[in-house]
């Protein structure tokens, strides 16, 4: 019997904050000598069963993707039947939540259940209604609920069942966030060439409704001295491009599309400010703002009732404004650029917080201890 079965939507090399957390915790458990298996949907075609860094990764074929939810028959039944002492479930994942609910109802030895809840489901009202019903029924069988912030539990619309809970934020492998002086100089030169010497405001992440890209673009439009570089892609990409064109600022906004890790580091090293303008509590944490802080880039963020403000603490590690207010966002950007003393303070505090509290080594150890506690 496997010690720990990890259940998630996708797994590395698929790139995303949830997938990265899934990977590092699974590898951390395997590194402690546990037999760890992952069941997930294949982000490519077909199915596979392979070992990756000490973790057995079982990828099953995806029948369809409905509203960002991968559907796989094989995934469902493997989740239901795979023998394990502990199941570590990464939510939201309504399809496999149903499989796990059945697992804990029909199997004699389903194992213990640990749930890491990354974010709530928003939009999609029919899916959300049924998903919440199933998820809360599943939580009744949960030994431990992990969230990136306790704020995300207390403010959650998806969680209505009280259970044993703990907050463990997302972190970074800090060794991957170092740049030589030469690389930094190259990044700054690249940025100056694009911007014509204007201050650079950087954004990176999925182009989704809740990310507040429309707010950022309005803020950029209001200050002709600013240049914006946007990394990533997503369902709101075309709408954002149209907004840029309609506002007549195409010469001050550069879309990079999908960016690799090295390109991400170059963008951050070129930036004068990192923008985190999310508008809805779907944004549960925001690993991209942690990445910016690790590169010593000042962050302008929004005051959401989630783990976002655990990381972005106003006047301490970031400057924080109310979500959806493009005027306040533009003023915050201007303050960070103009006030060197203020900028130095928040950058230093943010960097210290990342190093001392948000490194993967620290957070993996916390996850491993929690999961071992229910073995």
Please write the tens of the pLDDT for every residue from 283-315.
Answer: 989 999 999 999 999 999 999 999 999 999 999
| pLDDT grade for 95, boundaries at 50, 70 and 90 | very high
**Residue 88: its pLDDT value, please?**
98
Q: What percent of the chain has pLDDT over 90?
A: 86
Q: What is the pLDDT of residues 144-183, one digit of tens each?
A: 999 999 999 998 989 999 999 999 999 999 999 999 999 9
Torsions phi, psi for 359 (to 5 deg): -85, 150
Q: DSSP 3-state assignment of 140?
A: coil
Distance CA 111, CA 375 (A): 9
Task: Name, in order, each residue with C-beta under 8 angstroms of 298's C-beta and a sequence gap of 6 or more.
Answer: 272, 273, 274, 318, 319, 336, 343, 346, 347, 350
Number of CB atoms found within 10 A of residue 124's CB: 14
* Model pTM above 0.85: yes
CB 272 within 8 A of CB 223: no
What's the whole-number average pLDDT of the chain? 95
Beta bridge partners, 145, equal 115, 165
Task: Report DSSP state, residue 338.
Answer: H
Whether the predicted pLDDT of 124 surpasses 80: no
Q: DSSP 3-state assignment of 60?
A: strand
**Residue 45: its pLDDT value, please?**
86
CB 19 within 8 A of CB 12: yes
Beta bridge partners, 38, equal 6, 57
Whether the predicted pLDDT of 139 surpasses 80: yes
Ordered strands of the 84-91 beta sheet: 48-52, 55-60, 36-41, 2-7, 84-91, 112-117, 144-147, 165-167
CB 11 within 8 A of CB 23: yes
Distance CA 193, CA 219 (A): 22
**Residue 279: its pLDDT value, please?**
96
According to DSSP H, which parts of 146-247 are helical? 150-154, 181-195, 213-222, 237-246
Number of CB atoms found within 10 A of residue 133's CB: 14
Q: What percent of the chain has pLDDT over 70?
A: 100
Domains of the chain: 2-171+360-372 (3.40.50.2000), 174-357 (3.40.50.2000)
| pLDDT grade for 200, boundaries at 50, 70 and 90 | very high
According to DSSP H, which parts of 227-271 are helical? 237-246, 261-270
Distance CA 33, CA 51 (A): 15
Q: What is the pLDDT of residues 227-244, one digit of tens each?
A: 999 999 999 999 999 999
Distance CA 229, CA 254 (A): 5
């Amino acid at each position: 019997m496997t010690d720990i079965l990890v259940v998630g939507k996708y797994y590395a090399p698929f790139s995303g904050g949830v997938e990265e957390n899934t990977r590092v915790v699974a590898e951390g458990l395997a590194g402690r000598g546990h037999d760890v298996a992952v069941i997930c949907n294949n982000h490519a075609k077909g199915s596979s069963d392979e070992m990756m860094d000490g973790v057995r990764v079982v990828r099953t074929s995806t029948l369809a993707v409905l509203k960002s939810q991968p559907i796989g028959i094989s995934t469902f039944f493997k989740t239901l039947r795979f023998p394990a002492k502990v199941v570590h479930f990464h939510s939201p994942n309504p399809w496999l939540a149903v499989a796990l609910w059945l697992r804990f109802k029909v199997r004699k030895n389903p194992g213990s259940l640990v749930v890491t809840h990354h974010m709530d489901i928003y939009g999609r009202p029919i899916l959300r209604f049924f998903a919440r019903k199933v998820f809360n029924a599943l939580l009744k069988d949960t030994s431990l609920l992990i969230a990136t912030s306790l704020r995300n539990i207390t403010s959650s619309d998806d969680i209505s069942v009280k259970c044993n809970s703990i907050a463990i934020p997302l972190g970074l492998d800090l060794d991957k966030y170092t740049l030589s002086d030469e690389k930094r100089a190259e990044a700054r030169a690249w940025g100056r060439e694009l911007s014509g010497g204007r201050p650079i405001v950087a954004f990176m992440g999925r182009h989704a409704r809740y990310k507040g890209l429309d707010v950022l673009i309005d803020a950029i439009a209001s200050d002709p001295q600013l240049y914006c570089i946007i990394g990533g892609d997503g369902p709101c990409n075309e709408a954002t491009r149209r907004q840029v064109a309609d506002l007549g600022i195409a010469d001050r906004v550069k879309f990079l599309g999908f960016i690799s890790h090295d390109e991400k580091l170059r963008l951050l090293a070129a930036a004068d400010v990192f923008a985190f303008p999310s508008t809805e509590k779907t944004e549960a944490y925001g690993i991209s703002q942690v990445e910016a802080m690790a590169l010593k880039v000042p962050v302008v963020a929004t005051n959401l009732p989630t783990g976002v403000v655990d990381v972005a603490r106003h006047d301490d590690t970031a400057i924080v404004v109310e979500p959806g207010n493009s005027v306040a966002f533009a003023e915050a950007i201007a303050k960070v650029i103009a006030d060197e003393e203020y900028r130095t303070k928040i950058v230093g505090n943010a960097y210290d917080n990342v190093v001392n509290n948000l490194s993967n080594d620290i957070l993996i150890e916390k996850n491993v201890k929690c999961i071992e506690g229910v073995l």
